[in-house]
């Protein structure tokens, strides 16, 4: 389109942006994570992750994030299959209605779940009305998982919906004509074709679920601490930045693993190649 010089001039703002605002800040975190208050190199803060409270929080975070990701995947596949099944007139409107809740402030809607689930909440009041025993739902791991699924389900639905709607109808018809039943059609045709979308959805759900501190604070009642809560407290209450950064470095290991997984299935690269 134009010569190399002007191309490089146009790339300069991006390179400054990426260098100064992506890489330098990450170096700051790692630097704080591997030094102590006197600025000497130390792995003591990194090793803190093996202490009981921290290790328990990390294990709980990984467990809840995994459970939420699996639930999102299991909910999103049937939903997207139904939405993409036929190009009905109202498909656009229905799909938009599933994205619309994203525009409601997520802090407020997570708090609304408090009102629904708590001891004197809407569900328990309904149970009392029909003389059933009330349930302890708020401040349980289940409530946190519910909050995660509620907040991050759209991130699973969107990539899946896109990759499902890209599948050529005739491929599905061919599978049917060749005698595949519904299960075979799903596992041998649809699943492999939508795998990149599913992987992208998995990373988009797993990382925010693993690192949240808001959902656990609202629905876990401050007793169930996730690793995100501990890191946030190190910065806002304890003011131990070195420890907070060291724990963030531990989180970054999970994030890097996730990035490698996404790159292995990169749907963006394919689009670029096709063009």
Partner 1 sequence: MKYLKQVYLATIFLFLYAPIGVLIAQSFNASRYRGHWTGVTLDWYTKLFEDDRIMNALSNTLTIGISSAAIATVLGLITCVAMKELSRKWRATFMSVTNVPILNADIVTGISLMLLFMGLGLRLGYASILLAHIVFNVPYVILCIMPQLMALDKSFYEAALDLGASPFKAFWSVVLPELRPSIFAGFLLAFTMSADDFIITHFTKGAGVDTLTTAIYAELKIGIHPEMYALSTLVFVFVLIFVLLFAINRRKLKHAEDVF
Q: Which of residues 74-113 bind partner 1 (CB under 8 A)?
A: 75, 78-79, 82, 89, 92-94, 96-98, 100-113
Which span (12-20, 126-134, 172-180, 183-191) binds partner 1, by CB under 8 A? 12-20
**How far is it, in rounded angstroms, from Cα 58 to Cα 40?**
26
DSSP letter at 103 equals G
CB of 264 to partner 1, least distance (A): 12
Output 42 or 106, the one with its CB closest to partner 1.
106
Strand ranges, E, within 158-272: none
Which span (43-51, 66-74, 189-197, 210-218) binds partner 1, by CB under 8 A? 210-218
Q: Which token pair is 78?
A: 């049937």
Residues near partner 1 (CB under 8 A), total: 86
**Buried b / exposed e across 145-170, counting CB within 10 Å, b at 16+?**
bbbbbbbbbbbbbbbbbbbbeeeeee
Which helix (H) or strand (E) is 162 found in, with range? helix 141-166
Q: Does 28 bind partner 1 (CB under 8 A)?
A: yes
Q: Does 192 bind partner 1 (CB under 8 A)?
A: no
120, 136, 184, 238: which one contacts partner 1 (CB under 8 A)? 120
**How far is it, in rounded angstroms, from Cα 188 to Cα 192?**
7
Footprint on residues 215-254 left by partner 1 (CB under 8 A): 217-218, 228, 231-232, 235, 241, 244-245, 248, 251-252
Are 219 and 121 within 8 A, CB to CB? no
Footprint on residues 129-168 left by partner 1 (CB under 8 A): 150, 153
Footprint on residues 31-50 left by partner 1 (CB under 8 A): 32
CB of 45 to partner 1, least distance (A): 14
35, 121, 190, 201: which one contacts partner 1 (CB under 8 A)? 121
Which span (7-15, 50-58, 128-136, 166-174) binds partner 1, by CB under 8 A? 7-15
Output 122 or 195, the one with its CB closest to partner 1.
122
93 phi and psi, to 5 degrees?
A: -65, -45
Output 141 or 241, the one with its CB closest to partner 1.
241
- Per residue, what are the HEC states of 20-85? HHHHHHHHHHHHHHCECCCCCECCHHHHHHHCHHHHHHHHHHHHHHHHHHHHHHHHHHHHHHHHHH
């Amino acid at each position: 389109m134009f010569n190399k010089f002007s191309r490089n001039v146009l790339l300069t703002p991006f390179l400054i942006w990426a260098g100064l605002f992506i890489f330098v800040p990450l170096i700051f975190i790692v630097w704080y994570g591997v030094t102590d208050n006197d600025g000497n190199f130390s792995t003591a803060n990194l090793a803190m992750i093996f202490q009981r409270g921290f290790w328990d929080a990390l294990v709980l975070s990984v467990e809840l994030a995994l459970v939420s990701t699996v639930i999102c995947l299991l909910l999103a596949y049937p939903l997207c299959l139904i939405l993409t099944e036929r190009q009905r007139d109202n498909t656009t409107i229905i799909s938009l209605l599933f994205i619309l809740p994203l525009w409601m402030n997520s802090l407020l809607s997570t708090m609304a779940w408090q009102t629904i689930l708590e001891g004197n909440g809407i569900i328990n009041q309904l149970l009392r009305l029909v003389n059933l025993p009330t349930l302890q739902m708020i401040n349980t791991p289940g409530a946190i998982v519910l909050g995660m699924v509620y907040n991050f389900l759209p991130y699973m639905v969107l990539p899946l919906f896109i990759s499902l709607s890209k599948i050529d109808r005739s491929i599905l018809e061919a599978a049917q004509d060749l005698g595949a039943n519904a299960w075979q059609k799903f596992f041998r045709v649809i699943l492999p074709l939508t795998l990149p979308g599913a992987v992208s959805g998995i990373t988009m759900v797993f990382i925010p679920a693993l690192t949240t501190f808001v959902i656990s604070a609202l629905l876990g009642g401050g007793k169930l601490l996730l690793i995100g809560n501990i890191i946030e407290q190190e910065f806002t209450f304890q003011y131990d930045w070195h420890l907070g950064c060291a724990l963030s470095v531990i989180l970054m290991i999970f994030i890097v693993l996730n990035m490698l997984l996404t790159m292995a299935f990169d749907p963006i690269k394919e689009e670029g190649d096709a063009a």
